[in-house]
Amino acid sequence: MKLLDRYIFQKFFSTFLVTLTIFTLLIIIIHAAENVSSFKKHHLSFSEIFNYYCVLMPYMVNLLSPIIVFGTTIWVTTRLSRRSEIIALLSGGISFNRILTPYMVIAALLTGANFYLTGWLLASANKERIKFETKYLDFDMGFSDRSDYLQIKVGPDQYLYIRKYHGYNNTGYDVSLDTFKDHALVERLHAEKIRWLAKEQTWMLQSWEKRILFPNYEELTSGHNLRISLDIDPEDFSINPNLREGLTLPELDLHIQKLIYKGNESVRFFIAEKHIRYMTPFAIIILIVLGFLVAVHKPRGGIGRRITLGFVLACLYIVLFLSAKIVAETQSEHPILEIWLPNIIFSILCTIFYRLVPK
């Protein structure tokens, strides 16, 4: 490794680690202060609280890293420019792209670390974090205990329709189970109520009526209680969207396939999560390159303008990302495009800045 690379590496990582540590600890302290009453309410021990913040810390590090990386790049590069070190390097025959090289190496290292963290390591920590927050902090986890007008595929040619479902007692109302053959309805089982029997691990239909359709006539039977086996369980009716954060990438793919097969509308949250995990690592590369290009000029009148411009760009990226995530989690037809839109826009900004920067 050349002296230039070691020098920039040292400057970057020392600033990045210190800044990330300060912001992470500050947010954790504020978070703890806001939830002291919940900790006391549930009589939690110090070890339980400490273990929770141990699993919360990786989540906060992953959340803050892209913006901290961008700010660190601007700060380090601006200081190099202010002390005329960039000019000295260019005057010494070192090309502009060679100065950019250590930044690209840093971006590649952080991108790989971020992808492995979000794809695998963070999943187990998120499971414990979500479990603790749901149980003790009474967080609104983004799902309702009641669902209306559900349609779930329970077999190759079977569909279950439920007008209203209550998750607190695993009971549905106004239920229809339709069976098709060659795209034609051949059987309909209707019931006023469906209830999950936890001990038997099966479903109970109450006040049911079964209609079998033949080419020239219908056969009708009815009864009070009927046990049936369905390839679904209560979790399929009230899927917590935040459970996606506790899945590794392979588990996320399998879960998406399961939800698509069953026609569950919550699949959009999991699809958006998958694209976000692929998008975020590339965002680190884009933000590092853009931060370098913004700050590489020697500032006139101090570094305030560069830092202000960096702050504005960081806020713009956050707004674009949050907007794209909200749109992708609704009934979006092109979730990939919406999730990647912030990266596309900032890639164009990188190209514009690269052409405008004197080399």
Burial class for 252, CB neighbours closer than 10 Å (0-12, 13-18, 19+): buried
User: What is the pLDDT averaged over residues 258-283?
Assistant: 85
Q: Are residues 273 and 135 in the same domain?
A: yes
Taking all residues of the chain, what is their mean pLDDT, rounded to a whole number? 87
SS3 percent helix, strand, coil of the chain, rounded to 5, is 60, 20, 20
Nearest Cα neighbor of 277 from 303, 243, 245 is 245
CA separation for the pair 274, 276 (Å, rounded) = 5
Note whether 124 and 140 are within 8 A (CB). Answer: no
Q: Are residues 134 and 274 in the same domain?
A: yes
Phi, psi angle pair for 9, to nearest 5° = -60, -45
* pLDDT at residue 39 greater than cutoff 50: yes
Q: Among 221, 236, 251, where does a domain finish?
A: 236
User: What is the pLDDT averaged over residues 102-120?
Assistant: 93
pTM across the whole model: 0.75
- Block residue for tokens 């690269």: 354
pLDDT at 356: 86
Q: Among 186, 219, 236, where does a domain finish?
A: 236
Range of the domain at 206: 146-236
CA separation for the pair 92, 153 (Å, rounded) = 68
User: What is the pLDDT averaged over residues 279-302?
Assistant: 85
- Block residue for tokens 């978070």: 31
**Based on the structure, what is the number of domains in the chain?**
2
Structure tokens belonging to residue 341: 């839109």
pLDDT at 216: 86
User: What is the pLDDT averaged over residues 109-121?
Assistant: 92
Nearest Cα neighbor of 158 from 223, 229, 97, 104 is 229
Give 141's pLDDT tier (boundaries 50, 70, 90). Answer: very low
User: What is the pLDDT averaged over residues 263-287?
Assistant: 87
Note whether 285 and 107 are within 8 A (CB). Answer: yes
CA separation for the pair 117, 64 (Å, rounded) = 13
Nearest Cα neighbor of 72 from 127, 1, 10 is 10
* pLDDT at residue 296 greater than cutoff 50: yes
Longest CA span, the chain: 93
Q: Are residues 35 and 10 in the same domain?
A: yes
pLDDT at 28: 94
Q: Are residues 116 and 156 in the same domain?
A: no
